[in-house]
Amino acid sequence: MAGEKGRGATRNETSSRFHLPSREADGDWLDALPAIDGPAPRRRTSVTVEQARRIITRNNSPDIAFSQSINAYRGCEHGCIYCFARPSHAYLDLSPGLDFETRLFAKPDAAKRLREELSRSGYAVVPIAMGTNTDPYQPIEKDWRITRQCLEVLAECRHPVFITTKSNRILRDIDLLADMARDQLISVAVSVTSLDPAVARTLEPRAPHPLRRIEAIRQLAEAGIPVLASISPIIPAITDHEIEAIMARVSEAGAREASYIPIRLPHEVAPLFRAWLDAHYPDRAAKVMSIIRDMRGGRDNDPNFRTRMRGQGVWADLIRARFVKARKRVGFTGERLTVRTDLFRPPEGPQMRLF
């Protein structure tokens, strides 16, 4: 079963991790229709408004390079089958499968909440990351513009920000990004997982074409915005052969640095990924999972700090060696893109600033 055209997941089971009843249907009539009337029409994307009380999320994970983040949306229409954020939908009693791609949540008050939090006395300025859970420039951003509104607040306050995306829609905000780049307040990571459109179509079905992402890197760099290319995740026997080619292309486009993570399969992502392999790569599904387990200590996923982002074993070492060699070949030095934190000024209240 190849799944629904234009979607990443091939199934829609819910999780029983939170003591909720496991089920295949999600209550939507579309889930039961095939058994009654045959193949269902395409699943439409729905967006539900979520009223957030706070918008800045904090973490103290030792292997994550940021401690503050903003997620304007829950779920992501890009439908990347490997997305580690899929399990978050289980908290809502929704499926990390198709529900994650089609039943989205938007936080229209995000900029208002952000302004409130930045105004609090004692607020400590550290960079805020956007795009760490779901993509801030997924298709619904075109109409909701929540990412844009948050960036307007951050630009006004001269607050540093890191953005990660796999969408060329980020170019719509290049005016704000270029303004912030002049004060060294921003860096952008653009994800390029594969250069092969056929692979990208099933791996990341509603994300922009790989060449559009390369062009986004080029335009961002030409505007003076520091760009890092993320080739994460590297999937053995699916995309790992492209490491060198991707590094060459992103370097030519103007990226200053690159990063990678071997594929991770936390919680419900593992069975979804296995089903995707069976649907699209049945000839090598067993091989792919065998290599992944070798990199993850004999399991589908390694949840441990320090090793979960790097992998272990001979396959992980081989990927790491190839990445390092390719990075040196294109002239990347391992430079860490940094931002300034000393220009911050709290948001203006009802009374404008005198100076």
The mean pLDDT value for 269-279 works out to 96
pLDDT for 238-272, tens place per residue? 999 999 999 999 999 999 999 999 999 999 999 99
Class of domain 41-262: alpha beta
Task: Provide the 3-class DSSP secondary structure of residue 128.
Answer: strand
- The tokens for 30 are 């579309």
- In the block, tokens 């590094």 appear at 247
In which residue are the tokens 């961002």 written?
220
Q: pLDDT tens digits for 120-131? A: 998 999 999 999
Cβ partners under 8 Å of residue 350, min gap 6: none
- Going from N- to C-terminal start, the domains of the chain cover 41-262
Place of tokens 């292309």: 249
Count other Cβ atoms within 10 Å, centred on residue 48: 11
Neighbours of 247 (CB within 10 A): 25
Cis check: omega of the bond before 266, within 30 degrees of 0: no
* DSSP conformation class of 240: G
Q: What proportion of the chain, given as a percentage, has pLDDT over 70? A: 89
Q: For position 235, what pLDDT does the model report?
A: 98
**Looking at residues 151-165, what average pLDDT do you find?**
98
CA dist 287 and 236 (Å) reads 9
pLDDT at residue 219 tops 50: yes
- Sign of the dihedral through C-alpha 285, 286, 287, 291: positive
Q: Would you state the pLDDT for residue 276?
A: 97
Given this model, what pLDDT does residue 239 score?
98
Q: What is the pLDDT of residues 88-117, one digit of tens each?
A: 999 899 999 999 999 999 999 999 999 999
Question: CA-CA distance, 183 to 125, in Å (whole number)?
Answer: 15
Rounded to whole angstroms, the Cα distance separating 265 from 296 reads 10
Residue 224, Cβ neighbours under 10 Å: how many?
Answer: 11
Q: Which residues contact 341 (CB under 8 A, 6 or more apart)?
A: 125, 126, 127, 160
Report the alpha-carbon distance of residue 15 to residue 234 in Å, rounded.
26
Amino acid (one-letter) located at 277: L
Sheet of 227-230: strands edge to edge?
56-58, 68-70, 128-130, 161-165, 186-191, 227-230, 257-259
| Rg, Å, the chain Cα set | 21
In this structure, of 15-19, 165-169, 320-324, 333-337, the range with the lowest mean pLDDT score is: 15-19
